[in-house]
Structure 1
Amino acid sequence: MKLEIISPEAVLLQAEVKSVAVPGVNGEFQMLDNHAPIVSILQEGLVKIDGNISFSDASKKLFNKSADGRWTLFINSGTLEMNNNKVIILAD
């Protein structure tokens, strides 16, 4: 599935990924390929991404690799939309 993470300043990531876990306001949830359409508000926490990702030099410093091999990005809040196998995260 495709993942885009966009901040007010820049597009942080555009990549093909296996899964994305996000900090929803009602708890963390994960999306896999062909997940049902969803719109959700996100709270402070980690976005966890599983996939072989290439980062731009500008955005790589924002992401960390966790012990389980997933990439993580800390966000303060945001909005997520999943539709047609594409996840868009508008993150603060």
Structure 2
Amino acid sequence: MYLEIVTPEAILFSSEVDSLSVPGVDGEFQMLNNHAPVVSNLIEGTVKIHVHSQTNLKLDELDGKLIPDGADDKILTLLINSGTLELNDNKAIILAD
């Protein structure tokens, strides 16, 4: 699936991903490829991104807000205060604060 993370200041991330975990208002949930359409408000917490295995991610080009999760540079985390998520037709857009 394709993921784009947008803030009022900039586009933080735009790439293919294998999965995505977000802090929804009813609890954390994960989305994989071909997930059913979803619209959800997000609360303060951590967005976990599993970058597509075929993507050549250059860590030095990432915004300082996206942090590699430990030794695996294919897993990124982003702390958010709140936001909105829309997933439809394998394209996820997060509008984050």
Q: Same fold (TM over 0.5)?
A: yes
Aligned: 1:86 with 2:91? yes
Report if aligned partners of 1:15, 1:54 keep a CA contact under 8 Å in 2.
Answer: no
Aligned: 1:63 with 2:66? yes
* 1:36 Cα deviation after fit: 0.2
Q: Which runs of 5+ in 2 are unaligned?
A: none
Q: Which runs of 5+ in 1 are unaligned?
A: none
* 1:58 Cα deviation after fit: 6.0
| Letter matched to residue 70 of structure 2 | A
Aligned-partner SS, 1:36: coil
Which deviates more, 43-52 or 61-70? Answer: 61-70
Find the aligned partners of 2:34 and 2:4 in 1 and give their Cα distance. 16
Q: Which has the higher strand share?
A: 2
Report if aligned partners of 2:35, 2:90 keep a CA contact under 8 Å in 1.
Answer: yes
RMSD in angstroms over aligned alpha carbons? 1.7
Which deviates more, 49-58 or 10-19? Answer: 49-58
Alpha carbons of structure 1 residues 68 and 19: separation in structure 2 relative to 1, 3 Å: farther
* 1:54 Cα deviation after fit: 4.0
* 1:56 Cα deviation after fit: 7.0
Q: Which runs of 4+ in 1 moved over 6 A?
A: none
Alignment: residue pair count: 91
Aligned-partner SS, 1:17: strand
Q: Structure 1 vs Structure 2: percent identity of aligned residues?
A: 55
